[in-house]
Amino acid sequence: MAQSGYGEIRLFNDFTGEEVQVAANMEHASATGGLWNIGKGFTIKGQNLDQTDAGAAAVEDGLNGQVILTSSATAGGDACFVTTETCFKPSVNAPMAVEARVELAALTARRVFVGFSGTVADAQSTIVSGSTATLTLTESNCVGFLFDSGLTTDVEWHYVHNGGTTTGVTDSTALNSGVAPVATYMDVLRVEVDNNGTARWFINGVLKKTLAGAVSATAVFAGCAGVVSTTTTVGSVTLDYIAVEANRDWTI
């Protein structure tokens, strides 16, 4: 197949502007979700984004450019994600990476995921969730970081994965990072995936975990970051930036 110099895909949003809302009745929007085009390869998706207490908004005077994602308080499970489309397959697009700099206003009533998911629907809700010390792997193909205020055993970032040759782990104590988010302090989270499904997790520039067969090499993923409400209380997460990196598949 013909090739050119555009072999590396690098999507980056610093959230300095370019928020454009797409009407809820447009193609690909759902009755209970919403769809915003924020440019630079990313959209906003999530459950109950048509509610007035949900969505994405620039942080006034947020240095570098920041966006706050808010999930509605209509019901537990409402969500708001910044995401690409599902268009990255490890076997042909690796090495792949998602990196985001995130801040939590509080460590209660929210579930935050940063990484790759095999599904990010227009009305997407939970990708992975936690309760006490047990994870529920809702999406059959995913890899990334999870913070869930329901994980009362270890209130910290967890390395989650599902769909690879290494069975997805549901005991959260086996996946805890030892790094707890601090309210109003930003962490840099990065997950990388190789062409054989091996994944690496980095927190604040430090390699924390490597796992062979974490995901399927032939599944197709979206890179995303977002928040899910765990109760009838608004959930939020602030992003300083999000980056998604991959190589082009020249075989198509």
pLDDT digits (tens, 9 = 90+) for 61-113: 899 999 999 999 887 899 999 999 999 999 999 999 999 999 999 999 999 99
Asked if residue 219 is part of any domain, the answer here is yes
N- to C-terminal Cα separation, the chain: 7
Confidence of residue 124 (pLDDT cuts 50, 70, 90): very high
Confidence of residue 20 (pLDDT cuts 50, 70, 90): low
Asked if residue 165 is part of any domain, the answer here is yes
Expressed as residue numbers, the domain containing 69 is 8-247
pLDDT value at position 223? 98
Asked if residue 152 is part of any domain, the answer here is yes
Asked if residue 12 is part of any domain, the answer here is yes
pLDDT digits (tens, 9 = 90+) for 172-224: 999 999 999 999 999 999 999 999 999 999 999 999 999 999 999 999 999 99
Give every CB contact of residue 204 below 8 A, 6+ residues apart in sequence: 179, 187, 188
pLDDT value at position 19? 56
Stretch among 24-28, 34-38, 176-180, 187-191 having the lowest mean pLDDT:
24-28
The CATH number of the domain holding residue 73 is 2.60.120.560
Residue 71, Cβ neighbours under 10 Å: how many? 33
Contact 235, 109 (CB under 8 A): yes
158 DSSP β-pair partners? 146, 176
Cα torsion 59, 62, 64, 69: sign: negative
Mean pLDDT, rounded, of the chain: 91
Asked if residue 45 is part of any domain, the answer here is yes
* Count of domains for the chain: 1
Give every CB contact of residue 17 below 8 A, 6+ residues apart in sequence: 58, 65
Share of the chain above pLDDT 90, in %: 75
Burial class (CB in 10 A: 0-12, 13-18, 19+), 90: buried
